[in-house]
């Protein structure tokens, strides 16, 4: 019987009080709030908000809690945006066209930084069931501009090596979720090279690794390449492109462990535990798979949601997961 495990993609909504406090402290627009050199007062706001959302996840019986990425105003490119070898240029629209990030332009060697590890260390004070969230190397290559490495393959390899070094500094975590929307929205010309980059990242940790593309389904060639990589768990955004997901899995390789984006991360309607469970079961039946583990999660980051609706969705996920006996 499949074990259901509740978690999230991260990129959680910053509570309204924290948004107000940060704006008062900085006196700037949203994209000026994070520069990697925040004052102690700003860091204190993030710390309190992080604790609040970790407690909300625990109260909802979420199995693998995330730090929340509350400082990631530049979304998935945050680890680059705060790096000393990266300049941030003009505002660029995000995948869904409703949010923005500053374009990261890599102008020097991507040496170890430690920004992600520092945030994870603070979260270990509140939970032993912590999962890390990182951007995928190909996604960073797609969203960033290279003015240093000079070659697409070299840039991808450098980003993978950078992420691997960052992961090695992480505290003990249960999972490392690799958020990889560009794999679906901008399919790579050379999927095998991307799979090699993914292997560089996942081989840097002993934690369970989850590759989670979203916003669309992978094309057949990319799916075959990443499904054959060293990643432990393969993700599917079931809110998007159901038929292509089914076709990919049926064509193989079939994953032994899956992460299912079932809860809509941008819609305030709250899915019921029964609906979440039914969607997962329908996917298993239609694809013919019987995974040992299925992570249940929102299909995207939930940063758009009001905090109360976000908590409602956490409650539904927590009520769905538990352990196999709870789903009978």
Residue 1 per-residue DSSP state: -
Name the pLDDT band for 323 (thresholds 50, 70, 90): very low
Helix axes 220-227, 191-202, angle to 10 degrees: 30
Tokens 């809690």: give the residue. 65
Enclosing domain of residue 25: 3-327
Residue partners of 262: CB distance under 8 A and separation at least 6: 238, 239, 271, 276, 279, 280, 296, 297, 299
**pTM exceeding the 0.85 threshold for the entire prediction:** yes
Q: Beta strand 257-263 with 293-298: parallel, antiparallel or unpaired?
A: parallel
Tally of domains within the chain: 1
What CATH code is carried by the domain that includes residue 102? Answer: 3.20.20.210
* DSSP line for 166-224: HHHTS---SEEEEE-THHHHS--S-HHHHHHHHHHHHTT-SSEEEEE--SSPPPHHHHH
Residue 33: is its pLDDT beyond 50? Answer: no
Strand, coil or helix: 296: strand
Cis peptide before 253 (omega within 30 of 0): yes
d(CA 106, CA 148): 6
Tell me how far the alpha carbon of residue 295 is from its chain's centroid.
Answer: 13
pLDDT in tens, 277-290: 999 999 999 999 99
Q: Is 67 within 8 Å of 122 (Cβ atoms)? A: yes
Q: Which two tokens stand for residue 323?
A: 């352990």
Q: Is 291 within 8 Å of 258 (Cβ atoms)? A: yes
Q: Residues 235-264: what's their mean pLDDT?
A: 96
Residue 201: is its pLDDT beyond 60? Answer: yes
- pLDDT score at 94: 86
pLDDT in tens, 174-196: 999 999 999 999 999 999 999 99
Name the pLDDT band for 27 (thresholds 50, 70, 90): low
Tokens 């000393």: give the residue. 84
Burial of 224 (0-12, 13-18, 19+ CB in 10 A): middle
The sign of the torsion formed by the CA atoms of 310, 315, 319, 323 equals positive
- pLDDT score at 35: 56
pLDDT in tens, 287-308: 999 999 999 999 999 998 999 9
Q: Is 45 within 8 Å of 16 (Cβ atoms)? A: no
Name the pLDDT band for 310 (thresholds 50, 70, 90): very high
């Amino acid at each position: 019987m499949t074990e259901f495990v509740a978690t999230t993609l991260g990129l959680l909504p910053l509570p309204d009080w924290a948004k107000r406090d940060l704006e008062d402290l900085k006196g700037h627009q949203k994209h000026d709030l994070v520069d990697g050199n925040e004052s102690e007062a700003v860091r204190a706001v993030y710390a309190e908000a992080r604790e609040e959302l970790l407690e909300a996840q625990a109260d909802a019986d979420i199995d693998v809690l995330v730090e929340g990425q509350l400082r990631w105003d530049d979304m998935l490119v945050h680890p680059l945006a705060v790096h000393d070898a990266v300049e941030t240029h003009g505002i660029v629209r995000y995948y869904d066209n409703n949010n923005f990030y500053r374009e990261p332009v890599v102008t020097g060697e991507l040496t170890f930084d430690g920004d992600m590890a520092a945030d994870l260390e603070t979260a270990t004070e509140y939970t032993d069931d912590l999962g890390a969230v990182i951007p995928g190397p190909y996604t960073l290559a797609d969203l960033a501009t290279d003015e240093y490495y000079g070659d697409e393959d070299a840039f991808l390899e450098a980003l993978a090596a950078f992420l691997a070094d960052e992961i090695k500094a992480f505290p003990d975590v249960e999972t490392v979720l690799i958020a990889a929307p560009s794999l679906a929205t901008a399919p790579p010309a050379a999927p095998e090279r991307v799979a090699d980059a993914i292997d560089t990242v996942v081989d840097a940790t002993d934690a369970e690794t989850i590759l989670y593309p979203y916003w669309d389904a992978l094309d057949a060639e990319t799916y075959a390449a990443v499904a054959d990589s060293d990643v432990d768990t393969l993700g599917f955004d079931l809110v998007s492109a159901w038929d292509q997901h089914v076709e990919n899995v049926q064509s193989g390789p079939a994953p032994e462990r899956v992460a299912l984006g079932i809860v809509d991360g941008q819609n305030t309607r709250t899915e019921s535990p029964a609906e979440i469970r039914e969607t997962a079961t329908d996917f298993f039946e239609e694809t013919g798979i019987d995974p040992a583990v299925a992570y249940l999660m929102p299909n995207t980051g939930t940063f758009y949601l009001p905090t109360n609706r976000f908590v409602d969705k956490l409650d539904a996920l927590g009520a769905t997961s538990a352990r196999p006996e709870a789903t009978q």
